Amino acid sequence: MEELLQELKNAYGEDAEFRDGQKEAILEILNRKRILVVQKTGWGKSLVYFLATKILRKKAQGTTLIISPLLALMNNQVSSANKLGLHVETINSENTESWEIIVEELKNDQLDALIISPERLANEQFKALLSEGILKISLFVVDEAHCISDWGHDFRPDYRRIVDIIHMLPSNIPVLATTATANNRVIEDIKNQLGNNITISRGSLMRESLELQVIKLDTQEERLAWILNHIQELPGTGLIYCLTVKDCQVVNEWLCANQISSKCYYAKAEDKETIIDLFMQNQIKVLVATVAFGMGFDKPDIGFVIHFQKPGNLVAYYQQIGRAGRGIHRALAILLRGEEDDLINQYFIDSAFPTENLMEQIVSLIRANPDPGLRQSDLEKSINMKAGKIKACIKYLMVEGAIYQDKKYYRPTARFWKPDMEKSNKITKIRQNELQHIEEFTKTKNCYMEYIANELNDSLAKACGKCANCLNHPLIDENFRTDTLLKAQEFLKHHFHIIQPRKRWPSGVSIDGSNNIPKEFLCEPGWALSKYNDAGWGRLVSKGKYTDHHFDVQLVEAAAELLKDFVKEQDIQWVTNIPSLQRPELVSAFAKKLADYLHLEYIEAIEKVKNNRCQKELNTSFLQYKNVEESFSVKNCSENNVLLVDDMVDSRWTFTVCGYKLRKCGSGKVFPFALANSANRGDE
């Protein structure tokens, strides 16, 4: 179709040509068909739906609706649409001030395409746009369509709402689903949900510009040393992916401390737009990121991707290395596998997918309390599961039609719901197999890229001829300097953690008529000497607690060094500790020695009155708070400021409650100190 080629050249220059499969996919859309496009990252899937939108709008058709998973991806898609002269807007949580304007544009048929997240489909205001005919859909696009599938690696319950909408669309409305990460199992599941009349457009997933290497470096200090010694050898600007926010912060601070221009990106990072601008303009060497910097982000000249730890599956790995080498001939993908990888990935497997047993508990509780229903905080008082997982189960059950939301309360529907244990077990087994497959990938002697392509059932998989295995030698030297390793070890020993005070009681808890903790009873910001079991002091803390049953004097000296100026600045006069009935001497002996080193008085102020459950066995704030509140009392204290010592800090409820009780008893300000922070051993 000559018109298509001309529009392409108008946007991208006279030399522009369609990649294999692009024109055919656009023609399927213009012929009002349903199509699933499975093509490698950088192939140009957004061009397909935006160029189709351009032609449809010329024919006075309605608006293209695009379901997209990430805000960063939405903004990136708007930029792509601008090249074709399209007027595209997004409705998301960060542009609420523009919603009214966007609705007016829809009413006046001035909008070529609208991009929303799948969660927006549950919003009553958005559903009104559809039911009232304000949004007239001419093309329905599902980006990152593997999320529709229960077997997809990035399961999001709200993607299931998409299927309901597609089933309601008139048969003459074309539907386009796109992904770069669907194997045969996921494709079959998508077909079952979207209809067997869907056309599959599938190309090779081999990435010719990428050169892969795997390096086994067990400890964090070894990986930090390797990165510092070799980062300047890597081409251009690149990414370092970490499994947790805390690791992102550590790697970023290490690079910055060694004059490597670096920024840190994760879901709750501040100034994300500024950080992205610096990265896009090559003003920094490295962007250290979690998976929050993910799908579909289009920067053509990313020269390298380093993984600080092994991802949970090869699909995620392929997608992440796919950020690199889109518009350049050579880019490196270096996977540094470490000893903590599987522990963190197992945490994600255990916490990500809603379990059938947990959902059954939630449904039973809500059915037993139909009027007025239950709030999430009510469920957290009865179910020992992390709040995030309870929330995920609630969302899944709402999508399934088992419960519905009435203001802040969840109530049962008339629909009978029962758990599908076979399905749940199957999904868990798939996740475990995926973790095993990426472990096998790191050990293969064959071509890395071919291994990934085969995992994604690419019939065109072949040896790349460029990876470290194909060449039979490292792309980058696997060694690092001893002096850099020692420097990394010292860095980790001095990478302390601030303990921020909790300012509210758990949801549903009110003391003296308020959920807020009065300012005069709050703990002050405190310190944790290490991250539990890390390469700094963390391993010595672990060894002291579980093997030696006493803490080494090195930990006392390190803590005293950290705190000596702090106690003077804050006028801290005495030390006490959180007592334990199981290990009565462990923390108290450390606290007494620390008081001696700091020349402070030690007072045994807190008493353990009840041997309740271990805090780490409890998963909700309410249960953790209740457990501590019932376990400790204050028997005496000084009116001066105090250092409150414990071995571990996780939820912070022990410090919060004991600090509150010390203040109520008449103590001065309470400053927490822990030997190790054991929180967020896996986080986003």
- Beta-carbon contacts of residue 286 (< 8 Å; ≥ 6 apart): 231, 237, 238, 239, 240, 255, 260, 261, 262, 263
178/309 same-domain check: no
Alpha carbon 475 to its chain's center: 30
- Per-residue pLDDT for 528 more than 90? yes
Residue 60: predicted pLDDT: 80
Q: Which two tokens stand for residue 459?
A: 């019939």
Which one-letter amino acid corresponds to residue 459? Answer: S
Q: Which two tokens stand for residue 102?
A: 């966007």
CA nearest neighbour of 194 among 24, 427, 35, 50: 35
Residues forming beta bridges with residue 642, ordered by sequence position: 574, 670
- Sorting pLDDT into bands at 50, 70 and 90, what band is 683? very low
User: DSSP characters for 119-176?
Assistant: GGGG-HHHHHHHHTTSS-EEEEEEESGGGGSTTSTT--TTHHHHHHHHHHS-TTS-EE
- Sorting pLDDT into bands at 50, 70 and 90, what band is 151? low
In the chain, % of residues over pLDDT 70: 95
- Sorting pLDDT into bands at 50, 70 and 90, what band is 373? very high
Residue 681: predicted pLDDT: 42
- Per-residue pLDDT for 508 more than 50? yes
Q: Which two tokens stand for residue 682?
A: 């896996």
User: What's the order of all strands across the beta sheet hosting 302-307?
Assistant: 210-216, 331-337, 302-307, 237-241, 286-289, 262-265
Which of 167, 183, 202 is the last residue in one of the domains? 202
Residue 639: predicted pLDDT: 95
- Judged by DSSP in three states, 410 sits in strand
Specify the pairing of strand 137-143 against strand 175-179. Answer: parallel
Phi, psi of 293, deg, nearest 5: -95, 100
Q: Is residue 490 part of a domain?
A: no
d(CA 504, CA 657): 11
Residue 392: predicted pLDDT: 82
Q: How many residues can be counted in the chain?
A: 684
Q: What is the mean pLDDT of the chain?
A: 89
34/134 same-domain check: yes
d(CA 649, CA 527): 10
Which one-letter amino acid corresponds to residue 669? Answer: K
Upstream peptide bond of 370 is cis (omega within 30 degrees of 0): no
Phi, psi of 332, deg, nearest 5: -105, 140
User: DSSP characters for 7-46?
Assistant: HHHHHH-TT--PPTTHHHHHHHHHTT-EEEEE--TTS-HH
419/535 same-domain check: no
182/219 same-domain check: no
Q: What is the pLDDT of residues 622-660, one digit of tens each?
A: 999 999 999 999 999 999 999 999 999 999 999 999 999
Q: Is residue 159 part of a domain?
A: yes
The region of weakest confidence among 91-105, 221-235, 431-445 is 91-105
Do residues 624 and 618 make contact, with C-beta atoms less than 8 angstroms apart?
yes
- Sorting pLDDT into bands at 50, 70 and 90, what band is 72? low
- Per-residue pLDDT for 414 more than 70? yes
- For 217-269, strand residue ranges (E) read 237-241, 262-265
CATH number at residue 182: 3.40.50.300
Does 117 or 239 have the greater pLDDT score? 239
Q: Is residue 180 part of a domain?
A: yes
175/232 same-domain check: no
Residue 74: predicted pLDDT: 66
Q: Is residue 42 part of a domain?
A: yes
Q: What is the pLDDT of residues 117-146, one digit of tens each?
A: 888 887 788 888 888 888 899 999 998 888
Structural domain tally of the chain?
3
Cα torsion 29, 74, 327, 318: sign: negative
In the chain, % of residues over pLDDT 90: 54
Residue 374: predicted pLDDT: 95
Residue 295: predicted pLDDT: 59
250/321 same-domain check: yes
Do residues 227 and 306 make contact, with C-beta atoms less than 8 angstroms apart?
yes
d(CA 654, CA 651): 8
CA nearest neighbour of 399 among 148, 181, 194: 148
122/252 same-domain check: no
Residues forming beta bridges with residue 143, ordered by sequence position: 178
Phi, psi of 424, deg, nearest 5: -60, -45
Phi, psi of 443, deg, nearest 5: -105, -5
d(CA 592, CA 8): 74
d(CA 652, CA 672): 9
186/217 same-domain check: no
Phi, psi of 521, deg, nearest 5: -110, 5
Do residues 399 and 160 make contact, with C-beta atoms less than 8 angstroms apart?
yes
- Per-residue pLDDT for 350 more than 90? no
Q: Is residue 47 part of a domain?
A: yes
188/215 same-domain check: no
Do residues 45 and 326 make contact, with C-beta atoms less than 8 angstroms apart?
no
Range of the domain at 130: 2-202
Residue 327: predicted pLDDT: 86
Residue 479: predicted pLDDT: 96
Residue 352: predicted pLDDT: 61
290/382 same-domain check: yes
- State the DSSP H helix or E strand holding residue 544, giving kind and residue range, or none if neither: none
- Per-residue pLDDT for 593 more than 90? yes
- Judged by DSSP in three states, 294 sits in coil
The CA-to-CA distance between both ends of the chain, in Å, stands at 46
Do residues 673 and 526 make contact, with C-beta atoms less than 8 angstroms apart?
yes
Cα torsion at 146, 148, 151, 154 (round to 10°)? 60
Which of 202, 218, 235 is the last residue in one of the domains? 202
- State the DSSP H helix or E strand holding residue 384, giving kind and residue range, or none if neither: none
Do residues 124 and 160 make contact, with C-beta atoms less than 8 angstroms apart?
no
d(CA 672, CA 525): 7
168/237 same-domain check: no
CATH number at residue 539: 3.40.50
For 231, which DSSP code? G
Q: Is residue 41 part of a domain?
A: yes
Secondary structure, 3-state, 465-529: CCCHHHHCCCCCCCCCCHHHHHHHHHHHHCCCEEECCCCECCCCCCECCECECCHHHCCCCEEEE
Q: Which two tokens stand for residue 462?
A: 């072949």
d(CA 351, CA 342): 14
Alpha carbon 618 to its chain's center: 22
Do residues 35 and 25 make contact, with C-beta atoms less than 8 angstroms apart?
yes
Do residues 305 and 320 make contact, with C-beta atoms less than 8 angstroms apart?
yes
Do residues 445 and 469 make contact, with C-beta atoms less than 8 angstroms apart?
yes
Q: Is residue 48 part of a domain?
A: yes
Residues forming beta bridges with residue 239, ordered by sequence position: 287, 305
Q: Is residue 487 part of a domain?
A: no
Which of 202, 235, 256 is the last residue in one of the domains? 202
454/517 same-domain check: no
- Per-residue pLDDT for 454 more than 60? yes
